[in-house]
């Protein structure tokens, strides 16, 4: 099964690019961030502290969590409910990076990611896909862009929904970067096995085309 790993910080356009690549390769698109967001969202719904590792361990032990393929994407279902756009609020943004530091949560979700991709193949997007989840895939891409560019994209994404001002968003994204990079469990990083792509210098279609050329070249040995 073909597995393409796309990693990088928030706001670099991973979702848009990954969807385009998945559609062209005819495999499902899997946003692992939505899985962490779903755990964070459920924690907030229950009034739990996302930073409390023991509480998060108890939460996942009783959580009914599924990945269902719908319209060529892996959709998260939590206790029979599809959270959808509710996973994209700034409140869930902040909680997600706090949930993601817990090794028990990460190992639980990684097992689900591997099980899904083993069945169907996938273009998988996240922060530790090529380093931890699928370290043996030959298709690893790290997308990056300056913080200011990423913040502007996030503001556009949140248009018409809950969002703060630009300064607040910059501060929250900077703090999230620091947590993601500094956490002990599966930190955000890249190594020499990745192809680095600066998404501030091209649109989503151009970035996706670059990834597709690389994946297809590897498949043909050219």
pLDDT per position as a tens digit, 37-60: 999 999 999 999 999 999 999 999
Which segments of 26-102 does DSSP mark as H helices, in order?
32-45, 53-62, 90-99
**Residue 163 pLDDT exceeds 70:** no
Strand 3-7 and strand 139-144: pairing? Answer: parallel
Residue spans per domain, the chain:
3-216
Report d(CA 44, CA 54) in Å as an integer: 15
Rounded to two decimals, the pTM is: 0.83
Tell me the longest C-alpha to C-alpha distance in the chain: 53
Average pLDDT over residues 9-30: 94
Superfamily of domain 3-216: P-loop containing nucleotide triphosphate hydrolases (3.40.50.300)
Q: What is the pLDDT of residues 139-152, one digit of tens each?
A: 999 999 999 999 88
Residue 220, judged by CB atoms within 10 A of its CB (0-12, 13-18, 19+), counts as exposed
Segment 100-129, tens digit of pLDDT = 889 999 999 999 999 999 988 999 998 889
**Cβ distance 76 to 32 under 8 Å?**
no
């Amino acid at each position: 099964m073909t597995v393409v790993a796309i990693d990088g910080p928030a706001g670099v356009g991973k979702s848009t690019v990954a969807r385009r690549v998945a559609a062209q390769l005819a495999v499902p698109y899997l946003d692992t961030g939505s899985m962490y967001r779903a755990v964070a969202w459920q924690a907030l719904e229950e009034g739990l502290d996302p930073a409390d590792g023991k509480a998060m361990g108890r939460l996942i032990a009783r959580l009914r969590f599924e990945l269902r393929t719908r319209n060529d994407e892996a959709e998260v279902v939590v206790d029979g409910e599809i959270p959808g756009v509710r996973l994209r609020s700034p409140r869930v943004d902040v909680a997600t990076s706090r949930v993601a530091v817990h090794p028990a949560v990460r190992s639980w979700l990684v097992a689900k990611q591997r099980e899904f991709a083993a069945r169907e193949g996938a273009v998988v997007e996240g922060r530790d896909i090529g380093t931890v989840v699928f370290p043996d895939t030959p298709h690893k891409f790290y997308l990056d862009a300056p913080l200011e560019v990423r913040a502007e994209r996030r503001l556009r994404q949140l248009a018409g929904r809950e969002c703060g001002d630009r300064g607040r968003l910059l501060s929250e994204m900077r703090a999230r970067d620091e947590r993601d990079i500094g956490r002990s469990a599966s930190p955000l990083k890249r190594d020499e096995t990745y192809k680095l792509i600066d998404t501030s210098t091209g649109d989503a279609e151009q970035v996706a085309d670059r990834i597709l050329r690389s994946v297809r070249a590897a498949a043909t040995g050219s």
